[in-house]
Amino acid sequence: MCGIVGYIGKNPALPILFSGLERLEYRGYDSFGFCVLNNNKIDFLCKEKGKISDHCHLRDSKSVGTVGIAHTRWATTGLVTKENAHPHCDCKEEIFIVHNGIIENYKILKENLVKEGHKFISETDTEVLAHLIEKYFEGNLEQAVKLALREVRGTYGIAVVSPKYPNKMVAARMSSPLLIGVNSDEFIVASDPSAIITRTRQIIHLDDDEIAVLTPDNFVISKQERESSSWSVRTKKIETIEWNLEEAEKSGYKHFMMKEIMQEPSTIEDAIRGRLYFEGGNVKLGGFENVEDRLRDVSSLVLIGCGTANYACKVGEYMLEEYAGIPTETDIGSEFRYRKSLFSKNAAGIFVSQSGETADTLAALREMKEKGLLTLGVTNVVGSNQARETDAGVYTRSGPEIAVASTKAFIGQLTTLALITVYLGRQREMALVMGNRIIDEISKLPELAQEVLDTKEDIKRIVGKYIDYKDFWYIGRKYNYPIALEGALKLKEVSYVHAEGTAGGELKHGPLALIDENCPTIAICPSDSVYEKMISNIEEIKARNGKVIAIATKGNEDIKKIVDDVIYIPKTLEMLTPILSVIPLHLFSYYFADALGKDIDKPKNLAKSVTVE
Ligand code: F6R
């Protein structure tokens, strides 16, 4: 959500900032801006509404400055206007800042600053920071930033420059990701590694309460001690980005979403690589080693995630209850923290998130930590807040997901939750033979997922038949109930067509009132323990002239007699069917949105990684 790039080095900053922003645009894309310095002058200053990709001419603007900051925005405080776009500056245009996050006490700070004579031109919380730094700016930029940050409450990843000190950049972080890309003749500050991968793979993650002061040749990172408020210099480890440039590019696909759906089989492969232990009918999860004994004592679980990740949790709930025998419940982050949750002493939380930066999920995680309960993560992004703050966790290894709508990351989450189910099950009553059966089926999933993808032309043809419909219903039961929710979310998200998901059994409790020849239903009905019940639900729909597209198990010819269209998926264990049944739904949403000409990778009003509550 929003993206930051800052450059300080020996090369012209603008083209580097520009291509960094292009790569970050998936995190927010309603407006953007740059500030480049050349010696004591502002060399290039620009803010625009809209997407940076619609303003490519700016890349070639005349600018030779070698220090600069840039930002792509997803509006939170203040409308989408040029004035509200970053960078923001102080009254004297001596402090320029880009910011991700939210300054929660900005209103009171602004009131005081206005009383002191500061003039504001935007509605944003970020501009307050610029003026606050100005207030403390007495010839030492980093000191002014430190003093200003002492007054703010909230979250921030910031980069600050000043034409008065053109060879310096100050960056700081509190609960909003920020890293420094380290190269032989330059440093690049960014909120996301994809912004810097074309120039360097060597990075340093900033931690909360840390501040970095960068010059073209050097940088110093210091941390404020919470108790004493004093600052101490930190030595940080340089890490290497594991994934390569190709993974952050479209590689010939029209959209990232399609590329990522096509990666779903390899996502499963990556999630299970080296983790299946056939002899022991078990899985090896290195991330759980340190808490192995505590996990044995866990008596109940709560699974928490938002949006698509929450639907993965819901599937996980069915898996864990049925196969690990652990009482499990699922909640969304934004609700969990306001509940008076009652936990037994040995309860544990599993937090599921692609980005590991979703504010609502993190808030729920912190809430559970405060209660002294064990917290576990299922996270994709290495080094994210969630990955650092959970007691233990398992990475999904899904690689960078750039399209705003989550697809392959969901597959990675489901696969990882299946592995965790085997792990916790084998610690309890699950027999070796059952452990073996599940991991054997898991090992076949990449091939089966590929089989589903190979039917993509049929799915595209079916989309063509339904493209004029304005409302869709999705139904499923048990393991595939959350998949109905995911299918509906994906369709509305990328095509802006109204879609709703319900448990099949709930249809007659209300939604059936809306079913007629104008509202087709996608029914997820593999041949499993609830198949007969699903058929009853489909018949209820057919009796009201509703059209039905079924997702059914290969070989089920009978279903063709009842429904209008069928998409087949191969047979697998019931608990694993969601991993296959969701693939056609991802493809359906993609082709639907593409046929309508939507901006698939960057749906309106949305952004990747929701770092605000
Ligand atoms: C939907 C989607 C969102 C995310 C949600 C959580 O396609 O992408 O619903 O799943 O915002 O994000 P993470 O997984 O990063 O916590």
CATH number for the domain that contains residue 280: 3.40.50.10490
Atom of ligand 1 nearest to the CA of 610: 11
Cis peptide before 87 (omega within 30 of 0): yes
Q: Which DSSP letter does residue 508 get?
A: G
Tally the domains of the chain.
3
Predicted confidence band of residue 575 (pLDDT cuts 50, 70, 90): very high
User: What percent of the chain lies above the pLDDT cut of 70?
Assistant: 100
Residue 267 maps to a domain: yes
- Tokens at 207, concatenated: 């931690």
**3-class state of residue 4 by DSSP:** strand
590/490 Cα distance (integer angstroms): 8
* Residue owning the nearest CA to atom 6 of ligand 1: 306
Are 317 and 376 within one domain? yes
H or E element, residue 52: none
pLDDT, position 1: 67
Q: Is the pLDDT reported for residue 429 higher than 70?
A: yes
Say how many Å lie between the CA of residue 493 and the centre of ligand 1. 11
Crossing angle, helix 126-136 and helix 141-151, to 10 degrees? Answer: 120
Of the candidates 187, 151, 184, 150, the one whose C-alpha atom is nearest the C-alpha of residue 171 is 187
Q: Is the pLDDT reported for residue 79 higher than 90?
A: no
Query: Which of the listed residues 210, 241, 272 is the one where a domain comes to its end?
Result: 241
Residue 120 maps to a domain: yes
Say how many Å lie between the CA of residue 352 and the centre of ligand 1. 10
Residue 13 maps to a domain: yes
Atom of ligand 1 nearest to the CA of 413: 14
Among 362, 610, 612, which is best to mutate for testing ligand 1, by the most ligand atoms less than 8 A from CB? 610
Under 8 Å CB-to-CB from 13, ≥6 apart: which residues?
A: 7, 36, 63, 65, 66, 67, 68
> For the residues of 226-271, what is the DSSP string, one character each?
TTT--EEEE----EE--S-GGGGS-TT-S-HHHHHHHTHHHHHHHH
Buried-state track 225-242, b at ≥16 Cβ within 10 A, e below 16? eeeeeebeeeebeebebe
Convert 471-504 into a string of H (helix), E (strand) and C (coil).
Answer: EEEEEECHHHHHHHHHHHHHHHHHHCCEEEEEEH
Atom of ligand 1 nearest to the CA of 307: 9
CB 492 within 8 A of CB 320: no
| 160-214 pLDDT tens trace | 999 999 999 999 999 888 999 999 999 999 998 889 998 999 999 999 999 999 9
Predicted confidence band of residue 105 (pLDDT cuts 50, 70, 90): very high
pLDDT, position 128: 97
Residue 454 maps to a domain: no
Residue 455 maps to a domain: no
* Residue owning the nearest CA to atom 3 of ligand 1: 307
235/556 Cα distance (integer angstroms): 62
Are 465 and 561 within one domain? yes
- Tokens at 125, concatenated: 């919380």
- Would you call 448 exposed, middle or buried from its count of C-beta atoms within 10 A (0-12, 13-18, 19+)? buried
- Tokens at 131, concatenated: 């003026």
Atom of ligand 1 nearest to the CA of 305: 16
| 349-386 pLDDT tens trace | 999 999 999 999 999 999 999 999 999 999 999 888 89
493/480 Cα distance (integer angstroms): 20
- 95 phi, psi to nearest 5 deg: -125, 125
569/492 Cα distance (integer angstroms): 23
Q: Is the pLDDT reported for residue 609 higher than 80?
A: no
Are 176 and 266 within one domain? no
| 248-282 pLDDT tens trace | 788 889 999 999 999 999 999 999 999 999 999 99
Query: Which of the listed residues 449, 472, 495 is the one where a domain comes to its end?
Result: 449
Are 349 and 288 within one domain? yes
* Residue owning the nearest CA to atom 5 of ligand 1: 307
pLDDT, position 175: 84
* Residue owning the nearest CA to atom 16 of ligand 1: 353
Are 444 and 313 within one domain? yes
User: Mean of the per-residue pLDDT values for the chain?
Assistant: 94
Are 434 and 374 within one domain? yes
Average pLDDT over residues 39-55: 90
Residue 173 maps to a domain: yes
Residue with tokens 């007691």, as numbered in its chain: 391
Q: Is the pLDDT reported for residue 229 higher than 80?
A: no
Among 361, 386, 406, which is best to mutate for testing ligand 1, by the most ligand atoms less than 8 A from CB? 406
Are 111 and 83 within one domain? yes
- Tokens at 173, concatenated: 């972080």
Say how many Å lie between the CA of residue 516 and the centre of ligand 1. 32
Are 261 and 237 within one domain? no
Atom of ligand 1 nearest to the CA of 361: 16
* Gap between the terminal Cα atoms of the chain: 11
Atom of ligand 1 nearest to the CA of 405: 7
Query: Which of the listed residues 449, 472, 498 is the one where a domain comes to its end?
Result: 449
Q: Is the pLDDT reported for residue 244 higher than 80?
A: no
Tell me the CATH number at 163.
3.60.20.10
Instruction: Please compute, for residue 508, the number of CA atoms within 13 A of its CA located in the half-sphere on the CB side.
Output: 9
Residue range(s) defining the domain that contains residue 235: 3-241
Instruction: Give the gyration radius of the chain's Cα atoms.
Output: 25
Say how many Å lie between the CA of residue 414 and the centre of ligand 1. 14
User: Catalytic amino acids?
Assistant: 2, 608
Residue 248 maps to a domain: no
Are 233 and 275 within one domain? no
Say how many Å lie between the CA of residue 35 and the centre of ligand 1. 31
Residue with tokens 């220090």, as numbered in its chain: 67
β-bridge mates for residue 183, sequence order: 186
Say how many Å lie between the CA of residue 303 and the centre of ligand 1. 15
> For the residues of 257-321, what is the DSSP string, one character each?
HHHHHHTHHHHHHHHHTTTEETTTTEE--GGGGGGHHHHHT--EEEEEE-THHHHHHHHHHHHII
Average pLDDT over residues 220-225: 91
Residues with CB under 6 A from ligand 1: 306-309, 353-355, 358, 361, 405-406, 489, 493, 609-610
pLDDT, position 345: 85
Under 8 Å CB-to-CB from 454, ≥6 apart: which residues?
A: none
Say how many Å lie between the CA of residue 332 and the centre of ligand 1. 11
Among 308, 353, 380, 413, which is best to mutate for testing ligand 1, by the most ligand atoms less than 8 A from CB? 308
Q: Which tops the pLDDT comparison, 228 or 457? A: 457
Are 419 and 482 within one domain? no
366/379 Cα distance (integer angstroms): 16
- Model's pTM, two decimal places? 0.85
Q: Where are the alpha helices (DSSP H) in 122-247?
A: 126-136, 141-151
Are 292 and 204 within one domain? no
Residue 603 maps to a domain: no
Atom of ligand 1 nearest to the CA of 358: 16
Among 176, 304, 306, 395, which is best to mutate for testing ligand 1, by the most ligand atoms less than 8 A from CB? 306
Say how many Å lie between the CA of residue 89 and the centre of ligand 1. 32
Q: Is the pLDDT reported for residue 132 higher than 90?
A: yes
448/390 Cα distance (integer angstroms): 33
Are 170 and 286 within one domain? no
